[in-house]
């Protein structure tokens, strides 16, 4: 539902505007109350814009509220269902409104028939409650949330027809199709497939098409078997440094549900294969080796923390230096391909703008989105859109860890004096400025945002396969120790 500036009340005295509950410390937004006459006027303007963009499809898209917390919205939702239904009928007699189930609750249906609504079920509401009983809904499959560069995705679940309970078919909601190509391809096939399809046969066919050979079919099958989590695990490298990292982003976990040592075996088989490695294979090999090194960094972080608490200076230095060296090597690997670099994405975002002001706005939004993602000084969603990209790993994530590990030297005499975990834990993470260490990190992060200049030096100067092979050999004994 479109928000409106509070200043409109000066022009339209009878406009009834209410302040929505603040979302994770972002500036407040305001909505017109559904029973107010201006609600229909303004939302019809919004529908007109949708119709101009999409054509005469009689299909429209609304979100009742953002995110799943309905606290403070119950009475609003009860009025909204009826008001939207009436307004849609007045605007277009054949109108159908699509709405995500994550933006509603049972109050939404108190005063409406729901005949004009088709719900995109993106939170398994059909399975977990009776709210959708008798309602039209489409099962929605989401993936690659926030575009995070982790290897994950339950391909078997997709092959087992996730849309079987939906009479109206299925829908996909992917933040990007650039990563986890097997999972993405399976999701696209599931939309048009007539029921279930065999996973292993699908993977063989996928490999023949993507890699122009079936030589890597077993390796990719092993990868799919290994990294089959529904959600992306966190990255210790991209996590905001502290001695008790539990999450990189809200609701994820830095612990692995699989044995990361097996990633080494998969990558080694691909590297040593005599089969020709087309560009797609080189891209996927880079991703597998990156994931292996990223996973290896976590137990090394655990050891560095233990050595710090034990006042073991020598071993702490060795572990922390190894952690930082892995960051350097990941960055080097990522620089072998243009599309896996932060500056490439930054320039692409800038080029979407048509004017100088638009370009500058897109630059700022891109930088904020991929770093603190929230208000300066009191962000709650920091690092939500983390990515292991070339340039970003070295200049941002590794730089944070380097600064943090250096600062721990002042506490070696008495590690208990270090207070780097805040008392309050919003979303089970530290407050953005909740400790002395956090404030130092915030200064670094703000400085990065203010002074970032895209640097293309070193990009595509080395061969992906050669660097991947070199790094696998380098860590062939190291990874067995963790």
CA angle 340, 345, 349 (to 5 degrees): 165
DSSP structure class, residue 15: -
Are the beta carbons of 179 and 287 closer than 8 angstroms? yes
For residue 72, the model assigns a pLDDT of 64
CA angle 447, 453, 457 (to 5 degrees): 130
For residue 71, the model assigns a pLDDT of 63
Domain with CATH 1.20.120.670 in the chain: 233-481
Beta-carbon contacts of residue 410 (< 8 Å; ≥ 6 apart): none
| Predicted model pTM | 0.93
What's the CATH architecture for 233-481?
Up-down Bundle (1.20)
What would the pLDDT profile of 400-446 be if each residue is shown by its tens digit? Answer: 999 999 999 899 999 999 999 999 999 999 999 999 999 999 999 99
C-alpha–C-alpha distance, residues 248 and 384, integer Å: 7
Query: Is the pLDDT assigned to residue 477 strictly greater than 90?
Result: yes
What would the pLDDT profile of 303-320 be if each residue is shown by its tens digit? Answer: 999 999 999 999 999 999
Higher pLDDT: 13 or 275? It is 275
Beta-carbon contacts of residue 111 (< 8 Å; ≥ 6 apart): 78, 79, 81, 82
What would the pLDDT profile of 202-228 be if each residue is shown by its tens digit? Answer: 999 999 999 999 999 999 999 999 999
C-alpha–C-alpha distance, residues 376 and 322, integer Å: 32
Q: Encode 91-117: b = buried (16+ Cβ within 10 Å), e = exposed.
A: bbeebebebbbbbbbebbbeebebebb
C-alpha–C-alpha distance, residues 436 and 123, integer Å: 38
DSSP structure class, residue 329: H
C-alpha–C-alpha distance, residues 91 and 319, integer Å: 65
C-alpha–C-alpha distance, residues 363 and 426, integer Å: 28
C-alpha–C-alpha distance, residues 264 and 472, integer Å: 7
C-alpha–C-alpha distance, residues 32 and 4, integer Å: 7
- Largest alpha-carbon pair distance within the chain? 75
C-alpha–C-alpha distance, residues 108 and 79, integer Å: 7
Phi and psi torsions of 96, nearest 5°: -125, 130
What would the pLDDT profile of 45-104 be if each residue is shown by its tens digit? Answer: 999 999 999 898 999 998 887 654 556 677 788 888 899 999 999 999 999 999 999 888
Q: Encode 34-54: b = buried (16+ Cβ within 10 Å), e = exposed.
A: bebebbbebbeeebeeebeee
CATH number belonging to domain 1-134? 3.20.20.80
Domain with CATH 3.20.20.80 in the chain: 1-134
C-alpha–C-alpha distance, residues 227 and 224, integer Å: 5
Query: Is the pLDDT assigned to residue 133 strictly greater than 70?
Result: yes
* Tokens 């939309």 -> residue: 191
DSSP structure class, residue 398: I
Lowest-confidence range among 8-22, 85-99, 282-296?
Answer: 8-22
What would the pLDDT profile of 363-411 be if each residue is shown by its tens digit? Answer: 999 999 999 998 888 999 999 999 999 999 999 999 999 999 999 989 9
Tell me which residue of 280, 274, 286, 279 sits closest to 464, measured CA to CA. 286
Tell me which residue of 305, 304, 342 sits closest to 321, measured CA to CA. 304
Q: Which pair of structure tokens corresponds to residue 91?
A: 């605007």
């Amino acid at each position: 539902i479109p928000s409106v500036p509070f200043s409109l009340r000066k022009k339209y005295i009878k406009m009834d505007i209410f302040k929505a509950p603040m979302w994770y410390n972002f500036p407040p937004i305001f909505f017109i109350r559904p029973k107010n006459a201006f609600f229909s006027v303004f939302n019809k303007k919004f529908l007109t814009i949708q119709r101009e963009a999409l054509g005469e499809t009689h299909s429209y898209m609304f979100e009742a509220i953002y995110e799943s917390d309905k606290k403070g919205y119950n009475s609003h939702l009860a009025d909204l269902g009826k008001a939207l239904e009436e307004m849609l009928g007045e605007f277009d007699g054949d109108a159908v409104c699509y709405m995500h189930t994550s933006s509603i609750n049972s109050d939404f249906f108190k005063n409406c028939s729901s005949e004009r609504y088709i719900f995109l079920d993106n939170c398994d509401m059909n399975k977990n409650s009776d709210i959708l009983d008798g309602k039209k809904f489409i099962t929605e499959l989401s993936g690659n949330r926030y575009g995070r560069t982790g290897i994950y995705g339950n391909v078997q679940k997709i092959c087992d027809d996730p849309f079987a309970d939906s009479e109206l078919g299925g829908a996909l909601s992917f933040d990007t199709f650039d990563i986890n190509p097997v999972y993405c391809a399976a999701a696209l096939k599931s939309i048009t497939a007539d029921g279930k399809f065999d996973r292993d046969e699908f993977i063989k066919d996928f490999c023949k098409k993507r890699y122009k050979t079936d030589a890597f079919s077993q390796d990719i099958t092993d990868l799919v078997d290994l990294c089959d989590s529904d959600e992306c695990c966190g990255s210790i490298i991209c996590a905001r440094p502290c001695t008790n990292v539990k999450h990189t982003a809200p609701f994820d976990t830095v612990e692995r549900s699989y044995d990361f040592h097996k990633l080494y075996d998969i990558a080694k088989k691909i590297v040593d294969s005599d089969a020709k490695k087309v560009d797609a294979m080189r891209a996927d090999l880079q991703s597998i080796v990156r994931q292996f090194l990223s996973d290896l960094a976590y137990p090394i972080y655990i050891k560095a923390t233990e050595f710090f608490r034990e006042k073991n200076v020598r071993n702490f230095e060795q572990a922390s230096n190894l952690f930082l060296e892995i960051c350097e090597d990941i960055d080097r690997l990522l620089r072998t391909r243009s599309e896996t670099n932060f500056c490439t994405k930054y320039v692409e975002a800038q080029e979407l703008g048509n004017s100088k002001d638009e370009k500058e706005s897109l630059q700022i939004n891109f930088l904020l989105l991929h770093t603190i993602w929230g208000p300066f000084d009191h962000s709650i969603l920091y690092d939500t859109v983390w990515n292991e990209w070339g340039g970003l790993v070295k200049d941002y994530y590794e730089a944070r860890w380097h600064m943090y590990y250096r600062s721990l030297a002042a506490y070696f005499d008495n590690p208990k004096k270090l207070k780097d975990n805040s008392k309050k834990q919003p979303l089970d993470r530290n407050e953005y400025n909740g400790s002395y260490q956090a404030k130092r990190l915030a200064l670094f992060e703000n400085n990065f945002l203010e002074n970032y200049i895209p640097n293309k030096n070193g990009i595509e100067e080395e061969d992906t396969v050669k660097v991947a092979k070199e790094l696998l050999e380098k860590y062939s004994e190291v990874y067995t120790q963790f």
